[in-house]
């Protein structure tokens, strides 16, 4: 075993990336050996034996870390390409192959990639990245097989139980293999399942992606709640032996969903007031209740990196609640009578409605800036990037929303271009500074 000594910075980086909970009280102001640190975390139950070996291997390779990461990225891309190819193979619906033959081909592919991936990743161990990529392909082929069955039997387009099974498969393997890639996939699959289930419950038949755009069935108003729920699950998973591997993935996904919904809601008044009417169908209410429970559990029992984290989560919950209240306020003020009225002129006619919308945009900007600040404090580049992209989009959208009404079109474009160039330069510099600050 190597008796390598870590510098304070490296130790802090590993520490904060793996265990942002701060529960382990090793002091930063002294040098500790890798072996001591790993053994300590293992004895505390914070690291599994596999994770300890993985970290030791990673340190042993030292300077080869970057090529190793590149191999991981290449393997993942290869896996995704193979998976997409299989899904397209199902989509082409070749009549040269009988349904039974197609099922056999996919079955062989599914089992073959599963066993080969497990062998390479865990039994031989010398082709770990390739093995994980094959295990990822296995879950993609599993999804393709489900849709092959749906194709053979002409099952409904909103095939929610198929999406549920696929999500279940991805989630099960995520935890069996402690694979972030599988966990990453399981979140969009869960959204697909929920979107289709809700369409089936609300309206019945519709096209595959109506749950994204159609106002009556859109999942958009549920995204902040889902995001907050996933984020809460991430906070609850911190420091838990079998779940800590997914903390960062779930945290980023949760925050991304909240940010995405808020960014889209700033696109236009009509988008905000139409899409952010709180849905009252049974499934939406269940999602809301589940998110509230996860929220409450995280605030009560969650492990936070800083003392302010708990208040931050509470503030996020209040902010999301406020968005819905703001979107409903015109209705409560009697500015609309029915839930399905057309906004257009009515919205323009009321200064109060415009005022609420401007308030929403200002609060959205504050939220994005808070995300950047939070990412800087917790040294989370993904959170900084999400916050920066969101604030850039917000400025971009607002500029084009207002500029054409106030300026000549040519000036609006020229000024817009100059603003975007200046903004990108400022963001690039600020991002570099923040990331450099984090590394030192």
Partner 1 sequence: MTRRTLFLIGLLFELVAMFGLFLPYEYVRMTGTKVTLRTVPIDPRSVFRGDYVILGYEAGAGLPESPDTLYGTPIYVVLKDAGGGLYERTRYAEDVPALNEGEVCLRGKWFYNRVDFPDISQYFVTEGLGRELEQARNAHRLLVDAAVSESCSASILGLRLGPEAPLENEGIPSF
Smallest gap from residue 222 Cβ to partner 1 (A): 18
Name the residue nearer to partner 1 (CB basis): 170 or 391. Answer: 170
Smallest gap from residue 202 Cβ to partner 1 (A): 6
Gap between the Cα atoms of 138 and 79, Å rounded:
9
Gap between the Cα atoms of 18 and 117, Å rounded:
25
Gap between the Cα atoms of 79 and 305, Å rounded:
34
Smallest gap from residue 169 Cβ to partner 1 (A): 6
Q: Which residues bind partner 1 (CB under 8 A)?
A: 50, 87, 90-95, 107, 110-111, 114, 118, 122, 138, 142, 145-147, 149-151, 153-158, 162, 165, 168-169, 172-173, 176-177, 200-205, 207-209
Q: 133 to each of 103, 104, 138, 182, 393, how far by Cα in Å?
A: 22, 22, 9, 10, 33
Kindly report the number of other CB atoms within 10 A of residue 226's CB atom: 23
247, 241 Cβ separation under 8 angstroms: no
Name the residue nearer to partner 1 (CB basis): 172 or 425. Answer: 172
399, 411 Cβ separation under 8 angstroms: no
**Cα end-to-end distance, the chain, whole Å:** 28
Name the residue nearer to partner 1 (CB basis): 94 or 322. Answer: 94
Alpha-helical segments (H) within 350-408: 351-377, 381-406
102, 148 Cβ separation under 8 angstroms: yes
Gap between the Cα atoms of 165 and 183, Å rounded:
14
Gap between the Cα atoms of 58 and 43, Å rounded:
20
183, 250 Cβ separation under 8 angstroms: yes
Name the residue nearer to partner 1 (CB basis): 55 or 155. Answer: 155
Smallest gap from residue 56 Cβ to partner 1 (A): 18
Name the residue nearer to partner 1 (CB basis): 62 or 204. Answer: 204
Smallest gap from residue 30 Cβ to partner 1 (A): 36
Tell me 302's DSSP state. -
β-partners of residue 5 are 33
Smallest gap from residue 390 Cβ to partner 1 (A): 27
- Show the tokens assigned to 430: 């600020």
Name the residue nearer to partner 1 (CB basis): 93 or 354. Answer: 93
Smallest gap from residue 93 Cβ to partner 1 (A): 5
Smallest gap from residue 343 Cβ to partner 1 (A): 19
Gap between the Cα atoms of 136 and 144, Å rounded:
13
Gap between the Cα atoms of 347 and 79, Å rounded:
49
Name the residue nearer to partner 1 (CB basis): 165 or 222. Answer: 165
Smallest gap from residue 71 Cβ to partner 1 (A): 22
Name the residue nearer to partner 1 (CB basis): 40 or 216. Answer: 216
Name the residue nearer to partner 1 (CB basis): 145 or 249. Answer: 145
Gap between the Cα atoms of 337 and 331, Å rounded:
7
């Amino acid at each position: 075993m190597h008796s390598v000594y870590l510098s304070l910075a490296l130790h802090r980086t590993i520490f904060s990336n793996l265990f942002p909970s701060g529960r382990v009280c090793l002091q930063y102001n002294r040098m500790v050996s890798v072996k001591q640190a790993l053994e300590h975390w293992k004895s505390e139950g914070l690291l599994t034996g596999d994770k300890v070996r993985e970290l030791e291997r990673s340190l042993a390779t030292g300077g080869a870390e970057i090529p190793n990461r590149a191999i991981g990225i290449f393997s993942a891309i290869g896996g995704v390409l193979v998976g997409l190819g299989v899904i397209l193979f199902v989509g082409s619906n070749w009549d040269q192959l009988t349904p039974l033959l197609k099922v056999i081909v996919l079955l062989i592919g599914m089992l073959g990639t599963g066993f080969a991936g497990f062998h390479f990743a865990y039994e031989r161990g010398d082709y770990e990245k390739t093995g994980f990529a094959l295990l990822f392909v296995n879950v993609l082929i599993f999804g393709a097989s489900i849709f092959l069955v749906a194709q053979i039997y002409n099952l409904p387009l909103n095939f929610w139980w198929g999406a549920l099974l696929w999500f279940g498969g991805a989630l099960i393997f995520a935890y069996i293999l402690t694979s972030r890639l599988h966990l990453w996939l399981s979140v969009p699959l869960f959204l697909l399942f929920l979107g289709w289930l809700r369409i089936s419950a609300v309206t019945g038949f519709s096209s595959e992606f109506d749950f994204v755009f159609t106002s009556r069935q859109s999942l958009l108003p549920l995204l902040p709640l889902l995001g907050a729920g996933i984020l809460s699950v991430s906070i609850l998973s911190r420091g838990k032996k079998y779940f800590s591997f997914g903390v960062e993935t779930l945290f980023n996904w949760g925050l991304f969903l909240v940010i995405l919904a808020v960014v889209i809601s700033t696109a236009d008044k009509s988008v905000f007031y139409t899409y952010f009417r709180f849905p009252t169908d049974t499934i939406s209410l269940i999602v809301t209740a589940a998110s509230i429970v996860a929220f409450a559990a995280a605030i009560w029992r969650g492990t936070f990196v800083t003392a302010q984290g708990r208040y931050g989560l509470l503030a996020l919950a209040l902010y999301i609640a406020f968005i819905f209240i703001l979107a409903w306020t015109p209705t409560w003020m009697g500015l609309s009578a029915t839930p399905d009225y057309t906004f257009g002129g009515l919205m323009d006619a009321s200064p109060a409605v415009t005022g609420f919308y401007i308030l929403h945009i200002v609060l959205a900007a504050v939220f994005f800036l808070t995300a950047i600040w939070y990412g800087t404090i917790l040294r989370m580049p993904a959170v900084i990037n999400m916050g920066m992209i969101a604030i850039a989009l917000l400025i971009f959208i607002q500029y084009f929303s207002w500029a054409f009404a106030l300026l000549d079109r040519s000036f609006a474009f020229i000024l817009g271009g100059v603003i975007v160039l200046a903004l990108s330069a400022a963001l690039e510099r600020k991002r570099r500074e923040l990331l450099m600050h984090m590394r030192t």
